[in-house]
């Protein structure tokens, strides 16, 4: 299953991914419009990205009372069909990652749709906290980014 892979120890909390997601999906900038969320870990300086993992046995699909949560046939992404979503938040409670969020304007849930196979959040993440292996494999470019942004303990 294609999904965005997370390496939280590399996340710096810059929110570039949130801004890119919001801009590409909504044409404007706000964390509240983003399908990916960065959470700060309590009072210590560590950050944690949260994004839909498009689970094989997705509990959001089975829980949704209106069958609004669906898997796209093209890339396997689990998305919300806005026509059917009633904003009951069942998927939010069912998700083990807490990934679905309510759209502040429509009141319906939204999750990552993998940007038609080219997730923009991965493109703008310059520390390698997000990566997108296709069919479970990383590309050469993705591996290069990962190498360039290795954890720097002991350097220089």
Binding site for other proteins (CB under 8 A): 9-10, 12-16, 19-20, 22-24, 26-33, 39-40, 42-46, 104, 120, 123-124, 126-127, 148, 151-156
Rounded to whole angstroms, how far apart are CA atoms 38 and 76?
Answer: 23
Q: How many residues does the chain have?
A: 156
Minimal distance, residue 8 CB to other proteins, in Å:
10
Q: Kindly tell me which of 46 and 55 has the beta carbon lying closer to other proteins.
A: 46
- Is the CB of residue 55 less than 8 Å from the CB of residue 77? no
Q: Kindly tell me which of 58 and 99 has the beta carbon lying closer to other proteins.
A: 99
Minimal distance, residue 61 CB to other proteins, in Å:
27
Minimal distance, residue 50 CB to other proteins, in Å:
12
Minimal distance, residue 98 CB to other proteins, in Å:
12
Long-range contacts of the stretch 53-58 (C-beta < 8 A, 24+):
53/3, 53/4, 53/97, 53/99, 54/1, 54/2, 54/3, 54/78, 54/112, 54/114, 55/1, 55/96, 56/1
- 131: three-class secondary structure by DSSP: strand
Q: Kindly tell me which of 25 and 71 has the beta carbon lying closer to other proteins.
A: 25
């Amino acid at each position: 299953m294609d999904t965005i892979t997370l390496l939280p120890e590399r996340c710096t909390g810059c929110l570039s991914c949130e801004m890119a997601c919001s801009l590409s999906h909504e044409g404007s900038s706000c964390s509240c419009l983003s399908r990916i969320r960065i959470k700060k870990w309590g009072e210590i300086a560590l950050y944690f990205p949260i994004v839909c993992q498009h689970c094989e046995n997705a509990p959001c699909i089975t829980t949704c009372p209106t069958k609004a949560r669906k898997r796209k046939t093209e890339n396997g992404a689990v998305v919300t069909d806005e026509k059917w979503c009633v904003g009951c938040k069942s998927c939010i409670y069912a998700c083990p990652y807490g990934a679905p969020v309510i759209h502040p304007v429509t009141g319906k849930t939204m999750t990552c749709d993998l940007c038609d196979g080219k997730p923009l959040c991965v493109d703008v993440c310059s520390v390698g906290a997000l990566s997108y292996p296709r069919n479970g494999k990383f590309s050469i470019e993705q591996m290069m980014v990962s190498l360039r942004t290795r954890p720097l303990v002991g350097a220089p």
